[in-house]
Structure 1
Amino acid sequence: MNTPSWAGVVTMTPARYRYLADLAGGNLLASWPVPHSLRAPYDGDEEKAVYIVANREGLACYVGQTRPARAWTGAAGIRLSQHMAEPSKRDEWDSFWVLPLKWSTKPTIVDWYEATVAARLMVPLRHRRRRSRI
Structure 2
Amino acid sequence: MSRRKPPPALSPAAACPCGLSATYGDCCGRFHRGEAAAPTAERLMRSRYSAFVVRDEAYLLRSWHPRTRPAAVDFDPELSWQRLEVHATTEGGPFHHEGTVNFSAHFTDEGTPDVLREHSRFVRVDGAWVYLDALPPRP
Is the TM-score greater than 0.5?
Answer: no
TM range (shorter): 0.3 to 0.5
Bigger relative CO (Cα 8 Å, ≥ 6 apart): 1
TM-score by length of 1: 0.34
Structure label with greater radius of gyration: 2
Higher relative helix content: 1
Higher relative strand content: 2
TM-score by length of 2: 0.33
